[in-house]
Structure 1
Amino acid sequence: TAKGAQWAIFPNLHVKDAEWKKIFRDVRFRRALSVAVDRHEINQAFYFGLARPSNNSLLRESPLYNDAFAKRWRQFDLELANKLLDEMGLTKRTGNGIRLLPSGKPLEITVVFSTEQSAPSDILELVTDTWRKIGIRVLSKPLHLEIMRNGIFSGTVQMSMWSGLENGIPNDGTSPEELAPTTQQQYQWPKWGQYMETAGKSGEAIDLDVPRELFRLNDTWRSARTRQERSAIWNRMMDLFTDNVFSIGLISGVPQVIVANSSLKNVPEKAIYNWDPGAHFGIYRPDTFWIDTGK
């Protein structure tokens, strides 16, 4: 598959609770959560080591790939995670080691995921274990997809788990709109996306500097005339996107097994399986597949 991350966790920057909103909008918190994920363990436990531990970034098959961006905040480092949370002032704990919010409430996060998939539930068990080691309790909650989305859009959902960047192998001619607040369907900042989709009639205006800059850069890309200009914009946007950890990628490059009858010819032995780009099989011209009848 060619998604930026097969699975990612999205802190909702528009969660209704004001205290949680402030916590989620602190980049130190998002970075702490990211480095407190053991991606190697996830890869070994669920994908037999065949996938790639990753953040939500571009894949090495992309001409825009930058190794530094792909590795940013994806190392497993509980000491660093604890340091970042301590720097935020989240030093008080309950008797069983759960950190306390400034209000005195325990730092408990509910992560919702769609019932359409079984993998999130299993993967979240490992995330729950390692986040517990930095004083964060995780509750997982399966929801029907539409109910999950409505909760994200309304701000009642704290965090959600879904796939990362739809296209992890873009080139300079591919729109970088996934990296900026451009649609309500982006689970980390739905109200900014809604604001842009409706020309300000709904949602909220962007009120953080980095997302505002990402939106400006995306707009600049649309009028860029050369490949060099477009590539430079992509590079800057990926730099900001990965450093600020607006989504916490867990794993990428997950193999997709396709079974084809041996008599079906012209089917590639190894290929990219992704909706964007390629419409899954579409890019390989299934109209050119043919059946060898042996006659």
Structure 2
Amino acid sequence: MKLVKQNTIVLLTILFLFLSSGLVFAYNQAPMLDEQVESRELPAVDERLPENPYVTEVLDRIGDYGGTLNWLATNSTDDPKLMALYNNINLVRYTPSLTVKPDLAESYEVSDDLSTFTFKLREGIRWSDGEPFTTDDIMFWFNDLIKHEELTAESGSGWLKVKDELPEVEQIDDYTVRFTFTAPNPYFLEKLAFPGRKPYVASHYLKQFHADYADTDELAEKVENSDFDKWVGLFESENSKKFFRNPDLPVIQPWIPVTEPPSNRFVYKRNPYFYKVDEEGNQLPYIDEVVLKIVSDKEVLSMQVVAGNADLQMRQLMTGNFTLYKNNEENGNYKVLKWEQNTTSLPTFAPNITYGEDDWMRELNNDKKFRQALSLAINRPELNQVATKGLAVPRQATVYPQWEGFKQEWADAYADYDPDRANKLLDEAGYTERNDDGIRLKDGKPIHLTIYIGEDPNLPRTMNMIKDYWNEIGVDMDFKALEKTLHYTRRDANKLPWAYIGSASWSPTYPFNFVPVSNSYSSGNWWAPSYAKWYETNGEQGEEPPAEIKKMMDIYDEIQVTKDQDRRVELWQQIFEIHAENVWMIGTNGLHPQFVIKKNYVHNVPERALASWDYGAYFGPSEFYQFFIEEGAQDN
């Protein structure tokens, strides 16, 4: 009897220790997968999850499984990639407090000199086709894409370099990999957490399209049956270079794309191998599928949202429609949330100081007094009231105040409404003569600017106000809309004299609006694209910049290898000081709220959060896959 009592105590003690450790004995899956498991089309959920799943701490409560999340967009080429970016699946990720934590990696170690980073992957993570995710997928990405002379990784390789040198990437074992740089790389973890910079690919799938791995005859046949002349084009297409463009490509995302582009309706189905669970062991995501519907423009999108046709919407909501959205909350069965943005300025205008199509315009754009005068002529408070219902803050295009090194003087630089001072600066610059319409002359020619803008239907009202402000000081302006892809392509070709550039965002890992060091599609510089190309190609292409621009480039290079955070802040401050005086970008109003509209039956969405592209692609830190739809809410 005494022995039984002792055994009972031991068993109870063991049980208590297991329970208190937080270990999960059995995992749960979405009901939609039950039949596939029973028929053995899928392994049991315990076999589909890694040994140590990532545990998501849900915001409000454990979610309900099921439902279809509907959201809207206007660009069928660009917007579908957001399903990949919103979830931001990478070795590490941003938290809501903007710190970095392990994700695909179970843990990581950083050397004291910040030059070596060792990652331990979660053992047992699988691609959406059930194949194991290992360091083989990282090594293939590095050796056979990044280092390959003919191929281009979808996120490029510039972000990976220090002093223009790639790191050494060493495969320690199937689940451990080490990155060693030639100098300190203090922002490497933040660079990894930046949207789209995933250092891995589905090597088991892509090797069949790679000349170094595939059977020569079989690959030749695949190329012949494709739209490409060479294997390189076929490989990059299969690798979904534009993010989520190939439904056959295995993913590690919570939802799998199943729609072949082009389309006006994209469907994303649950990934049964997704490696994350909630605190109770329920495999995520909660939502069964996501449907992205493409509409013609932002006005149509707003009307669809107001009518209740979007379950969750952040993309392309217009600040000027805030009252419209609020007034229809009850009828649309939704709630308008106001998240915070780190928007430096919106809109922001960029005169191209490297413009190569017209020497007269280039000389005008390079006149600092001209740029300063245009900035002073804008009535920002009035523009704020008319365009954004007073919800923004009048300011210059500079860093946001949440940054630790911010100085208010930068936001105030040439941002007052002072047409008298603007006129004085233009007179000092030598533009004293005018034509019969009151437009100032340069070399006998009326000063006329054409600004190329995006397709936002709300922009013409803002642009017409800017046109009137500048007309009052003797500068004529018109504007033309360009489709986004064409807008960016012409920028990178140095063919835009002036451009509307959106919010001119900045973070230490996305400096490209403020320092011309990248000419890539998604991170190109608008006000000096030719200087950016010179820097990016080590002087082989583009145009060598003048001393002041080179100084900023040198400061930027120093930042990238400086270990001390305080010193890095001081160096960034030097760059913002230079910008404040030169006004290479003309800001208007910034720090706008970001509206998020969610149906009342969509839960675990934060009431307030930072909506930032740089810090995890808007929804990233909130862990999109823990959002859920209330059970039965969509039955009617």
Instruction: Find the residue that maps to 1:269 and give its secondary structure.
Output: coil
Q: Distance in 2 between matches of 1:146 and 1:282?
A: 24
RMSD of the alignment, in Å? Answer: 1.9
Check if 1:182 corresponds to 2:522.
Answer: no
* 1:71 corresponds to 2:412: yes
2:539 is matched with which residue: 194, 197, 200? Answer: 200
Given the alignment of the two structures, is residue 256 of structure 1 paired with residue 559 of structure 2, yes or no?
A: no
Cα separation, partners in 2 of 1:62 and 1:202, compared to 1, 3 Å: same
Cα displacement string for residues 214-255 of structure 1 (whole angstroms, at most 9, x for unaligned residues): 111000101112011101001111111122111111121222
- Look up the SS of the partner of 2:573 in the other structure: helix
Counterpart CA distance in 2 for 1:151 and 1:292 is 46
Q: 2:472 — aligned with what? A: 133
Give the drift of 1:53: 1.4
Q: AA paired with 1:258?
A: V
Pair 1:20 & 2:398 matched: no
Please state how far the C-alpha of 1:64 moved relative to its aligned partner.
2.4
**How many aligned positions are there?**
287
1:59 and 2:422 correspond: no
Higher relative contact order (CA 8 A, sep 6+): 1
* Amino acid in structure 2 at the alignment position of 1:200: G
Identity %: 26
User: Which letter maps to 2:454?
Assistant: S
* Equivalent of 2:567 in 202, 223, 229: 229
> 1:174, CA displacement in angstroms?
4.5
Kindly indicate whether the alpha-carbon contact (under 8 Å) linking 2:470 and 2:477 is maintained by their aligned counterparts in 1: yes
Q: Is the 8 A contact 1:42 1:123 kept in 2?
A: yes
User: Where does residue 348 of structure 2 map in the other structure?
Assistant: 8
Deviations 1:260-283 (A, max 9, x none): 233433322112212111311111
**Deviation, structure 1 residue 177:** 4.7
Matches of 1:66 and 1:283 in 2, distance apart? 27
Is 1:50 aligned to 2:430, yes or no? no
Aligned to 1:113: 453
Task: Select 1:162's aligned residue among 497, 501, 524.
Answer: 501
Distance 1:136 1:155 in 2: 23
Task: Please name the residue that 2:290 is paired with.
Answer: none
Q: 1:234–1:109: structure 2 CA closer, same or farther, 3 Å change rule?
A: same
Q: Between Structure 1 and Structure 2, whose CA radius of gyration is higher?
A: 2
The residue number in structure 1 matching 2:627 is 289
Q: Does 1:95 align with 2:423?
A: no
Quote the Cα distance in structure 1 between the aligned partners of 2:501 and 2:458.
10
Question: Offset of 1:154 from its aligned partner?
Answer: 4.0
Per the TM alignment, residue 69 of structure 1 is displaced from its structure 2 partner at its CA by 0.9
- 1:276 aligned counterpart, secondary structure: coil
SS at match of 1:256: strand
Query: Are 2:513 and 2:526, in contact at CA under 8 Å, matched by a contact in 1?
Result: no
Unmatched 5+ stretches in structure 1: none
Residue 381 of structure 2, aligned match among 40, 46, 55: 40
Q: Which is further off, 139-148 or 81-90?
A: 139-148
Residues of 2 paired with 1:247 and 1:91: CA distance? Answer: 24
Alignment CA distance shift 1:53-1:259 (3 Å): same
TM-score (norm 2): 0.43
Aligned 8 A contact 2:391 2:593 in 1: yes
For residues 68-92 of structure 1, the C-alpha deviation after alignment (integer angstroms, 9 at most, x for no partner) is 1111111111011111110111000
Give SS of 2:518's match: coil
Matched to 1:179, the amino acid is: F
CA distance in 1, matches of 2:452, 2:604: 42
Give unpaired runs (5+ residues) of structure 2.
Answer: 1-340
- CA deviations over 1:17-71 (Å, ceiling 9, x no partner): 1122112112111111111111111110011101111211122222222111111
